[in-house]
Amino acid sequence: MKKSLVFVGLTIPVVLIPNQLLGSHKLLAQQSDNYSLQRQCKAPLQTPMPMEAVAQEALVACDLLLTKTPENSPNLVNILANKAFALQVLGRYEEAIAIWDQVIYIDPQRGSHRANVVRDLEIYSRWFPNTPIQISDSWVKALAEALRLTRAKMKQPDYPVYSDWKLSPKAIAIYSRVCAKQVLLPEQFAADPALARSIVECGLRVFMNREYYQNQKNELEAARSAVAIFLYGTADPSIINKLPETVSFLQEVVKNYQQLRSTSQR
């Protein structure tokens, strides 16, 4: 199940995803007929399976199926629509809107779907409005590195993540849109560690700045809350504390942060 939480102009999804990516290309390569491909080219929003993994599979399958589908085929509109749904789930809203434009040209009654993507794009393109950054840049760099170190020690999760920070495809799309002014594909994000670090620092800077002043200028609590919002979409204890592994993870990040800050002050 997907939950979304809104924090001052930025909505971040909380999504649990199994790792189906590694097998998707192999699975599709084994398909020998259009029916099998079409079965894979499904709308992620209409399946109980974890959505980002399904969206990755669906996007690959839809693209393959589109190469085999004539322009006058009655199936074309549904294939395009499922591709648009997949792009939307992955946070690639600009691409999804372009596909919905093709769909609406064929079937104008589907205009409401395009409107939903435009709404999501507006939500995920907003950052905290006019909030001056007043925390030290050294704090942000230490927190980004503490997060990287902590994630590196984690067991590889059973859902698709990229780079040393192990971000999901949708998180990469969201943060690269607002921080790098372009939507990066997961492979691009993972292939450029310097760019990935700058995007992670950008997101953490905004969250830590806000949380520092909302937590009576408590630096460590601001660090913990910033990471929680960055990864999980909320720092609300009633949500975060329900999962012991999440609490333990955040404690480890703060511990690493303290060590890095202590070293930098020597």
* Domain definitions of the chain by residue range: 3-124, 137-264
Measured from the Cβ of residue 151, the count of other Cβ atoms closer than 10 Å reads 19
Q: Do the Cβ atoms of 159 and 212 come closer than 8 Å? A: no
Least confident segment among 6-15, 35-44, 210-219: 6-15
3-state secondary structure of 234: coil
Distance CA 186, CA 163 (A): 8
CATH 3.40.50 fits 3-124, yes or no: no
pLDDT of residue 4: 39
Q: Do the Cβ atoms of 195 and 219 come closer than 8 Å? A: no
Q: Do the Cβ atoms of 257 and 220 come closer than 8 Å? A: yes
What percent of the chain is modeled with pLDDT above 90?
60
pLDDT of residue 155: 77
Distance CA 35, CA 213 (A): 56
pLDDT tens column, 12-39: 333 322 233 233 333 333 334 555 555 5
pLDDT tens column, 77-96: 999 999 999 999 999 999 99
**Given the DSSP bridges, would you call strands 10-14 and 3-7 parallel, antiparallel or unpaired?**
antiparallel
pLDDT of residue 39: 59
- Pick from 20, 40, 21: nearest CA to 30: 40
Distance CA 248, CA 250 (A): 6
- Pick from 225, 221, 222, 230: nearest CA to 199: 230
Checking if the pLDDT of 153 tops 60, the result is yes
What 3 state SS string does 104-145 have?
Answer: HHHCHHHHHHHHHHHHHHHHHCCCCCCCCCCCCHHHHHHHHH
Measured from the Cβ of residue 243, the count of other Cβ atoms closer than 10 Å reads 11
| Residue that has been written with the tokens 């921080």 in this structure | 179
Tokens found for residue 253: 């990040």
3-state secondary structure of 155: coil
Distance CA 144, CA 223 (A): 10
Which amino acid is located at 61 in the chain? A
Distance CA 35, CA 222 (A): 52
Distance CA 193, CA 196 (A): 5
Q: Do the Cβ atoms of 41 and 79 come closer than 8 Å? A: yes
pLDDT tens column, 158-204: 678 899 999 999 999 999 999 999 999 999 999 999 999 999 999 99
